[in-house]
Amino acid sequence: MKNKIIKDWQNREKSVQELHNDSIEWISEINFINDEIRFLEHLLSAKYIDCLAAGLYKKIDEFVDKLKEQKTIGKTLKVIIREQEAILLNLINNDSVSSNKNYLENNKKLEFEMDNYIKKYRRLKKQIFKIVENIMKQKDQKKLV
């Protein structure tokens, strides 16, 4: 069995183990994001009354919807990653990983999707933290007055 395969989009060799490790890392990242989403949902609900007082009901509603969307995308990506892992195992057993361009192309697309998912989630998280921070500052200013 060939130990290295070429990923055309990176012009470098990557082992089957590295492809497998990518999948493990992606699943781990999605699980971590899901944990953070639970925290953010709780944070928004805990600050909900303060947000309403600050006139941010629509913004909080948008954030909650976007978090739900990220959760759904994460679930879908996990299913796709697990399917890719099953295909990889089958290709390893048949000693045909390097010759299967379809698998390599799908893996490339999946890597791109994961990068986009993570970037989009991080932007959303920053926006949520900024809003919560502003609300906390306003609340502290009111206490000082």
Q: What is the domain count for the chain?
A: 1
130 part of a folded domain: yes
Provide the pLDDT for residue 80. Answer: 95
63 part of a folded domain: yes
Residue with tokens 């949902």: 41
108 part of a folded domain: yes
104 part of a folded domain: yes
* Predicted confidence (pLDDT) per residue in 88-122, tens digit: 888 777 777 666 778 778 888 999 999 999 999 99
11: left (phi over 0), alpha (psi -120 to 50) or beta: left
Rounded CA separation 99/18 (Å): 17
Q: Structure pTM?
A: 0.80
114 part of a folded domain: yes
7 part of a folded domain: no
Query: By residue range, what is the domain housing residue 103?
Result: 12-144
